[in-house]
């Protein structure tokens, strides 16, 4: 059941969450957790929540603000998903994205995100079995310092 082509390697999820400055007493939501709940399980936050449409919990119905929203999301309506996340998250939003998905964040949308108080603080490049290159984008509120990094580890 967990060997799904769109599910994230648990080691990758753990490593990406390690790049997020979240604290154990912060609150966390995985908005698209999958049946594997891989980001949810690896989040260090004691107070954590999940949504998964296949389990009857639609992210667009979620109304409780949380500090962090981080996952490998569904890509088909990524901007709509991001807008809902910008409305809910208090500290940061992190997405693992394919190169096609990352193109959703063009100049117009980055400006709109910035007007709403959100700036990209990290871009981390990773390699997986297929389709090879993925990008972890972290948005944080305010004027965070930006860092660009990558890992040569070959994830599943």
Residues in contact with ligand SAM by the rule CB under 6 A: 6-8, 31-34, 36, 38-39, 51-54, 58-60, 71-74
Hey, what are 125's tokens?
A: 């490049």
For ligand SAM, the closer of residues 8 and 121 by Cβ is 8
Q: Is 129 in contact with 10 (CB distance < 8 Å)?
A: no
For ligand SAM, the closer of residues 8 and 27 by Cβ is 8
Least separation in angstroms between residue 36's CB and ligand SAM is: 5
Distance CA 38, CA 57 (A): 16
Distances in Å between the alpha carbon of 132 and those of 30, 126, 128, 151, 153? 23, 8, 5, 12, 11
Nearest to 58 by CA among 87, 26, 33, 37: 33
Q: Is 110 in contact with 102 (CB distance < 8 Å)?
A: no
Least separation in angstroms between residue 12's CB and ligand SAM is: 9
For ligand SAM, the closer of residues 30 and 140 by Cβ is 30
Nearest residue to ligand SAM on Cβ basis? 34
Least separation in angstroms between residue 61's CB and ligand SAM is: 8
Distances in Å between the alpha carbon of 119 and those of 14, 86, 96, 137? 23, 11, 16, 10
Give SS3 for 42: helix
For ligand SAM, the closer of residues 14 and 123 by Cβ is 14
Least separation in angstroms between residue 1's CB and ligand SAM is: 11
For ligand SAM, the closer of residues 34 and 94 by Cβ is 34
Least separation in angstroms between residue 27's CB and ligand SAM is: 18
């Amino acid at each position: 059941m967990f060997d799904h082509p769109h599910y994230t390697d648990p080691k990758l999820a753990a490593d990406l969450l390690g790049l997020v400055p979240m604290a154990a007493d912060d609150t966390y939501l995985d908005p698209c957790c999958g049946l594997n709940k891989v980001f949810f399980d690896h989040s260090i936050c004691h107070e954590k929540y999940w949504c998964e449409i296949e389990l009857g919990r639609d992210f667009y119905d979620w109304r409780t603000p949380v500090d962090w929203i981080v996952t490998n999301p569904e890509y088909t309506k990524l901007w709509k998903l991001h807008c809902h996340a910008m409305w809910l998250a208090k500290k940061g939003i992190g997405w693992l994205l394919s190169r096609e998905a990352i193109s959703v964040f063009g100049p117009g949308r980055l400006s709109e995100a910035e007007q709403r108080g959100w700036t990209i603080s990290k871009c981390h490049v990773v390699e997986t079995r297929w389709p090879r290159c993925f990008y972890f984008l972290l948005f944080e509120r305010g004027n965070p310092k930006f860092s660009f990094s990558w890992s040569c580890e070959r994830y599943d």
